[in-house]
Copies of this chain bind each other. A is one copy, B any other.
Amino acid sequence: MATAQRMVVIGANAAGMSAASRARRLKGPGELEIVALERGGHSSYSACGIPYWVGGDVADAGDLIARTPREHRERDIDLRLYTEVTELDPDGGRVRVRERGGTSEKWLGYDHLVIATGARPLRPPLPGIDAPGVHGVQSLDDGRALLDALEAAEAADTADGPRRAVVVGAGYIGVEMAEALTRRGYRVTVLDRAEQPMTTLDPDMGRLVREAMRGMGIDVITGATVTAVRTGEDGRARAVATEDAEYEADIVVLGLGVRPETGLAGEAGLPLGESGGLLTDLAMRVRGRENVWAGGDCVEVLDLVSGRTRHVALGTHANKHGQVIGTNIGGGYATFPGVVGTAVSKVCDLEIARTGLLENEAEAIGLRFVTATVESTSRAGYYPGAAPMRVKMLAERRTGRLLGVQIVGREGAGKRVDTAAVALSAGMTVERMTTLDLGYAPPFSPLWDPVLVAARKASAEVRRTGPH
C-alpha cells in the first residue's frame, strides 16, 4: 500500500475547512493526511455574523461557529490552532511553520497545498489609528474585544447623555455596525469619503440609503476624508478628525473593507491580480501550479458579467471554493464558474441589494447601456404591509442583455435580487426577463413583480435607443 498523501491547508475558515471536510469525505486517513494550520484560535466561524453579535441579535459567539476544532479533529483533520505559516516554498512543496509562542520554525512538506488565508481589513496609517478604543470587526477576537469595551462602558455608565460612536466607512460592514451600535443605544456617526454611502450601489441608489439611515437617527457624513484619530490624556480614542471637522467618539469602529491576505503568496511568486488576490483556474488551482490551490477571501474570481477577475469577500463563495478544492483533491471533478456580483445587506429595516455591474463598472470596460429605475411594492398595493422598493436595472444597448440590478427597499426587497442573479448567469436579455414566470399572489407580489416592472422599462429603453 502506498503512503498517504498530505494535504496542507493554511487558514481554518470557510474555504479551508470546507476543502478539508470535503476531501476527507472522499478519501480516508489511510489515503490522505490533512493538516490545517490556523494562526488564530478559532475555526469555521461566520465573520459576517459579527455585527449581529455585537448588536445583540446573536447572543453568543458560539452560535457563529459552524464547526469546532474538536469536531474537525474527530473527522481526522489535524487542525493546529495558533500555528502560523511564515513562508511558502511551492517549488519545494513545503511551507515553513511557527507554532504558538514558538520562536523556532520548521518546514512541513505537502502533496497538495490549499491557501485559504482570507482577507485583512483596511487600516490606513493615520495618527491614532492604533489607539485603544479603535476597533476592527474582522475576526471573532475583534468582535469579542469590541463587545468587552461596549459592556465595560455600559457597566460604568455615567448618565451624561448617550454615548457616541463613530464608524469609519459606509460599506456593508460600516452600515451593519452602525445598526448594531444604534441598537445598543449609541448615537452613531458614519463617515465616508464617497459622495454617498454604499459605493456598492450607484450614487442615486446610495442616496436612498443615506436618507433612510438619517431617518433612523444615524448621522451619515459623506465626502469626509478622515485624517486622524484624536486621543485623550489616557491615550484612548476620543474623536475622529476629518479634513473639515472633528467628531467626538467614545468608541471608533473601522469598516473600510478588506484586501486579500496574500503577502506570503506574493513573496513566493504566486500570481496575483490587480486587487492583490490570487489568480486561479476554474478548478481553483493557482495558475501555473499543479498542486497548489486557493479559495475564499484571498482569491480573485471570474466576474461572468464583465469577463474580468475581481475580489469578492463573501462566506458563501468561500464555502463553494472549498467544496470545489476538496472535491478535486479528493479525486473528483468540480469547478467554480465565477460570480455575477450579488450582495445583499440591511440596516435596520432597510434592505439593500445588488447584482451585476454598476454604471461606473460597466463604463470602465467599454459597455454602453441604458438604465431604468422604477418604484414598486413588495406585495400587492392593497395588501397590508406592502412596502415601497426602488429597483434600478442596467441593460446593454443593442443586445438588451441584462447587466445589473440594484434594489433598495424594506421587508421583502433584498432577496428579490436573486431573480436577476439567475438571469445574469443565464445571459438573459431584459426583454426575455419581462416574460419570466415569477410567483404571484397578493401577499407576495404586485401583479408584476418589481423586477419585471424594471425589466419592462429597461426593455422599452433598449428599443427606444434603437439598433445602433
Q: Which residues of A contact B (CB under 8 A)?
A: 14, 46, 48-49, 52, 57-58, 63-64, 66, 172, 314-317, 319-320, 336-337, 339-346, 351, 353, 355, 380, 382-384, 412, 414-419, 421-426, 428, 432, 434-445, 447-449
B residues near A58, Cβ cutoff 8 Å: 382-384
User: Given A380-B49, A382-B63, do A421 and B436 touch, yes or no (CB 8 Å)?
Assistant: yes
- For A66, the closest partner residue in chain B by CB is B447
Task: Give 6 nearest A-B pairs by CB, closest first.
Answer: A344-B439, A426-B426, A63-B382, A316-B440, A422-B422, A339-B437
Q: B319 to A448, Cβ gap below 8 A?
A: yes
User: Given A49-B382, A422-B422, A436-B425, do A441 and B336 touch, yes or no (CB 8 Å)?
Assistant: no
B residues near A448, Cβ cutoff 8 Å: 316, 319
**What's the least CB distance linking A88 to chain B, in Å?**
28
Of the candidates B314, B316, B441, which one forms a contact with A346 in the assembled complex, judged by CB atoms under 8 Å apart? Answer: B441
Of the candidates B46, B314, B439, B445, which one forms a contact with A382 in the assembled complex, judged by CB atoms under 8 Å apart? Answer: B46
Q: A416 to B419, Cβ gap below 8 A?
A: no
8 A–B contacts from the bound complex (CB under 8 Å) = A48-B441, A49-B383, A49-B442, A316-B449, A339-B437, A344-B445, A351-B444, A423-B426
Copies of this subunit: 2
User: Given A46-B447, A52-B443, A58-B382, do A438 and B426 touch, yes or no (CB 8 Å)?
Assistant: no
**What's the least CB distance linking A212 to chain B, in Å?**
16
Q: B435 to A342, Cβ gap below 8 A?
A: no
- The CA-CA distance from A18 to B440 in the complex, in Å, is 17
Q: B49 to A342, Cβ gap below 8 A?
A: no
Q: A444 to B415, Cβ gap below 8 A?
A: yes
- The CA-CA distance from A172 to B417 in the complex, in Å, is 27
Q: A355 to B421, Cβ gap below 8 A?
A: no
**What's the least CB distance linking A434 to chain B, in Å?**
8
Q: A355 to B437, Cβ gap below 8 A?
A: yes
